Amino acid sequence: MTTIPEHNDTIVAPATADGGAMCVIRISGDSAIEICDTMFRGRRQLAEAKTHTLHYGEIVDRSGCAVDDVVAAVFRAPHSYTGDDTVEISAHGSHYIVSRIIRLAISAGARMARAGEFTSRAFLAGRLDLSQAEAVADIIASDSQWSHAVAATQMRGGYSDMLRQLRDKLLRLTSLLELELDFSEEDVEFADRSELRDILVDVQHHTRNLTGSFALGNALKEGVGVAIVGRPNAGKSTLLNRLAGDDRAMVSDIAGTTRDTIEATANIDGVVFRFIDTAGLRITDDRLEQMGMERTRNTISKARIILHLTTPDDPSEEPISVAPSQQYIRLINKIDLQAGTADESRSDDNFTPPVCNRYDNDPATPTYDNSTDTAVPTQCVMRISAKCDIGIDALRRQLRSTIATDNVANGSIVVSNLRHYEALTRADESLSRALDALDNGLPADLLSEDIRQVLHALGEITGEITTDDILTSIFSKFCIGK
Ligand code: GDP
């Protein structure tokens, strides 16, 4: 296991991906400028350079041979990303040049940076809090307008300030509660119980708003899971290909089985949807396939939207059961055949198909059978032809309308990070226990223990409370150079 290193040594890594016309090599640490001066030849030494200045020159090897023409950007501590002296060398993006420059830096005393080490240094130097540091990884990975919007809000501070303020209020009252413990013989109450109650309720209100936003945040970050289910030959694969179209990002078999889930993604108006063709579901004795199908079922159970594909000649097919959190859309496919035509050249433009796009109910609020915790909604029915591209735009609009991005556009804070969601859920549980303890007049030590747990959970999000394990697990997910 890697541990978070002490940071007085100087680290080096490429900060840009392979294959571009240019590459930035980042060198950061106490000796960054000195190390660069051993290989940089410009009009003056970088040691004389002011912070935030650019310097044109050459990188030369030990024998004085030029390696590349470069521009060196100098950032002096503490005004750099990491908070340490930093030089960013922009060179031509040749793999050879980049590795030569890195080797020269290492031979002059730098060492190769570990995954996420620049950002972990930024965190340790107090330049970013932990949730902002995590957002750096999210923003680099963001692949759509809205996953970018969520990550950008978090990187700019997101809910960190709010959590810090809530923590401060709780901390003040906890210290009063703990003072009472020192005077336990005397039956005194330093912490005003009704004020404490108000604060606990207020904190819980905020944590619940945040946890409530996770389903949306997670969908925006990871892509909205859409499972396409239906009988063999209903047209599932055709629909998946139609929806993914030219934007298809991936069609792959999940490793380890002979026939498995096929996924493709499409960006619909700034939101990535992950379409899952569930054709792999069938009865089999093959153990390996069964395991694959278990994963497929798992994927379906996690999908946010279920598209149930039927055909006009099979109208009796029963709706399938979905979980309350899932949206169900029933599709009647192959309506081109029902219209009595085999002319596949017809499109939405020149043909008015018998598409009803009818909603018997509001699709967002299906009626559920509480006894089984499943829903058997028939409310959203759309008539399409996957093959002839009929009704597909309407389906795209319907899918997109299930994802409410207005709040994100208006600057509302959305939690997209699973670690934060889990910490907020723990905070919420401890808050409920603390409120119970308060309402039942339980002793101050029990109350204070619950509040400590709330403080701990909230502090984990912003990094006021951290362990090596938490930091290692966060930063090891970064690439080298971030
Ligand atoms: P799956 O088994 O559910 O994945 O079904 P496929 O996508 O493999 O489609 C089965 C057959 O139905 C193929 O021959 C498709 O070309 C055909 N098909 C799919 N959608 C349509 C449609 O909208 N109209 C017509 N006429 N045929 C379709």
Identify the residue whose C-alpha is closest to ligand 1 atom 19.
235
Going by the DSSP 8-state scheme, the letter that residue 474 receives in this structure is H
Q: Is residue 175 domain-shared with residue 45, that is, in the same domain?
A: no
Q: Is residue 283 domain-shared with residue 387, that is, in the same domain?
A: yes
Residue in the structure block whose two tokens are 């390696």: 67
Q: What is the span of the domain harbouring residue 435? A: 140-213+414-463
Domain assignment of residue 478, yes or no: no
337 lines ligand 1 (CB under 6 A): yes
Give pLDDT, residue 425: 96
* Adjacent-strand bridge partners of 143: none
Kindly give the distance from the C-alpha atom of residue 238 to the centroid of ligand 1, in angstroms, as a whole number.
Answer: 6
Q: Is residue 252 domain-shared with residue 149, that is, in the same domain?
A: no
The pLDDT of 314-335, averaged and rounded, is: 81
Read off the pLDDT band of 73 (50, 70, 90).
very high
Domain assignment of residue 74, yes or no: yes
Q: Is residue 33 domain-shared with residue 124, that is, in the same domain?
A: yes
Q: Is residue 273 domain-shared with residue 296, that is, in the same domain?
A: yes
330-373 pLDDT tens trace: 999 999 987 554 444 344 444 333 333 333 333 333 333 333 33
> What φ, ψ does residue 385 adopt, rounded to 5°?
-130, 110
When mean pLDDT is compared across 19-23, 56-60, 68-72, the lowest value belongs to: 19-23
Q: How many domains does the chain have?
A: 3
Q: Is residue 74 domain-shared with residue 123, that is, in the same domain?
A: yes
Percent with pLDDT over 90 in the chain: 41
Kindly give the distance from the C-alpha atom of residue 277 to the centroid of ligand 1, in angstroms, as a whole number.
Answer: 13
Among 15, 14, 20, 12, CA closest to 93: 20
User: What is d(CA 120, CA 101) in angstroms, rounded to the nearest whole number?
Assistant: 23
273-301 pLDDT tens trace: 999 887 655 555 667 666 766 766 777 78
Identify the residue whose C-alpha is closest to ligand 1 atom 9.
235
Q: Is residue 16 domain-shared with residue 116, that is, in the same domain?
A: yes
Domain assignment of residue 229, yes or no: no
Q: Is residue 108 domain-shared with residue 249, that is, in the same domain?
A: no
Q: Is residue 315 domain-shared with residue 346, that is, in the same domain?
A: yes
Segment (H or E) for 431: helix 418-439
Atom of ligand 1 nearest to the CA of 234: 3
What CATH number should be reported for the domain holding residue 457?
A: 1.20.120.430
Identify the residue whose C-alpha is closest to ligand 1 atom 24.
334
336 lines ligand 1 (CB under 6 A): yes
pLDDT value at 460 more than 60: yes
Whether 120 and 163 have beta carbons less than 8 Å apart is answered as no
pLDDT value at 29 more than 60: yes
Domain assignment of residue 471, yes or no: no
The pLDDT of 432-449, averaged and rounded, is: 88
Whether 240 and 277 have beta carbons less than 8 Å apart is answered as yes
What CATH number should be reported for the domain holding residue 265?
A: 3.40.50.300
Read off the pLDDT band of 318 (50, 70, 90).
low
When mean pLDDT is compared across 57-61, 101-105, 450-454, the lowest value belongs to: 450-454
